[in-house]
Structure 1
C-alpha cells in the first residue's frame, strides 16, 4: 500500500456502494486516530447510502464503563486500547458478518458522549441490510481479539489528516463535552496523543489510506 489517496465524499460513497450487494453481508471498517473524522465519514456514508443499504455500528459501544475503569485503575486513560472490551467487539463483528436475510436483527451497543458511558442494544442491525459500516480507533490493532474482528471485515479504510487539524478538532470536541480549554488541550496532547501514535503504527494494515475532502 502506498501513501494516502485524496478522495471526495462522492468517490468514497461510490466505493462503499460497490460493497453493498443486496442479499449479501459485508463489513466496512473506518479507522483513524482520535479527531481524524472517522465517525463523521462513517455517518456520511450511511446517510447517503440510506437505511436499505447501510447501517453504522461504532466500536465505541465497547468502552468499559467508568465504574469498571475505576476498579482497574484506568479511568485516567479512558480511550486507550486496554479500556475496551475487544473480545466483545470481535464477537459482535462475527455475528454481524454471519447474518443473512431472514435472520433476526443484531442489537449493538452505542457510546453516549453526553454521559460518557456505553449503552447496550442502542442500534438494531437488520439482517437484510447488506453493508455494516463500523468505525473506531483500533480496528487494525494486532493484539488481543482485534485481529479476529479485522478478519471479518471486507475492507478497512484508514482516515489520515494533518496533526494540526486533528488536534484542533479534538480540543474543540473535548471542550464541547465539558472540559475546560486547558483540560481539553492537555487531554488531546496527552492520553489521546499516545493513542494516536499507537493507531498510526497500524496504518499499513489498511486496504486504503484516505485524505477525505468533504
Structure 2
C-alpha cells in the first residue's frame, strides 16, 4: 500500500490535473482502494469519482429488457462517463467545480451531482469495471487518464465479497450467490480480458 500511495502522490504532484483509473472485476476492491488512496493523500490532493454513477436507472434498464443484466457493459452511459472524465481532466485552478454522479448501493440507483470535484484538487481517482474496454466511448475516457491500474484479486476472495455485498443490500443468500456467479462472473470475464492494457497490475487482496 505504501508503494501505491507513493505512486498516487507522484501523480498528484505533477503540477496539473491528473486522472488515475482503477479497474477490476466486480468485488476486486476498486472502491476500497480508491478511498484508501484518497484518504492517505487528503482532500486537498485527491477525490474519488466512481464510474458506477453512470449506471442506467432501473426504470431505463427495465424499458430495454436489461434489468436482469444490471452491471453489464451495456447498462452504463459510457458516453456520459467519457464526457465527465474529459471535463475533469481539463479542469484548472480557478475553474468552477465539476459535480459528478454517484451510485448509492442502499437504493441501487445513481444520484446526480453527488460528488463535488474542486478544480484545485490535482488528482481525480476514478474506479470501475470497464475503464479499459475497447468498445463504445470507453477508449475516449481511457485516453484522458494518466494511468490505469488493474486489480488482480483471487477469485475465491472476490466471489465471497460479492456474495456478502449482495446479501447485505437485500438479496437472499441464494440470490446473492446466483448473481455473483452468474451476471457478475460474465462481466468479470470481459474485464479480465482487458488486463493487458493496464499500466500497472496490482495483486492485492484488499480488506
TM-score (norm 2): 0.98
Partner in structure 2 of residue 95 of structure 1: 87
Aligned residues: 206
Q: Pairwise CA RMSD of aligned residues? A: 0.9
- Note closer, same or farther for the CA distance 1:97–1:211 as it changes in structure 2 (3 Å cut): same
The answer to whether the 8 Å contact 1:62/1:86 transfers is yes
Does the 8 Å contact 2:55/2:109 carry over to 1?
Answer: yes
TM-score w.r.t. the length of structure 1 is 0.95
Query: Is residue 2:131 matched to residue 1:159?
Result: no
Shift of 1:132: 0.2
Please tell me whether the aligned partners of residues 23 and 100 of structure 1 are also in contact (alpha carbons under 8 angstroms): no
Instruction: Give yes or no for contact 2:153–2:205 (8 Å, CA) kept in 1.
Output: no
Residue 141 of structure 1 pairs with residue 133 of structure 2? yes
Q: Distance in 2 between matches of 1:213 and 1:49?
A: 21
Provide the rounded CA distance (Å) in 2 between the counterparts of 1:48 and 1:146.
28
Report the counterpart of residue 66 of structure 2 in structure 1: 74
Q: Does the CA contact (< 8 Å) of 2:154 and 2:205 recur in 1?
A: no
Runs of 4+ in 1 over 2 A off after TM superposition: none
Partner of 2:204, secondary structure, is strand
User: Please, which runs of 5 or more residues in structure 1 have no aligned partner?
Assistant: 1-8
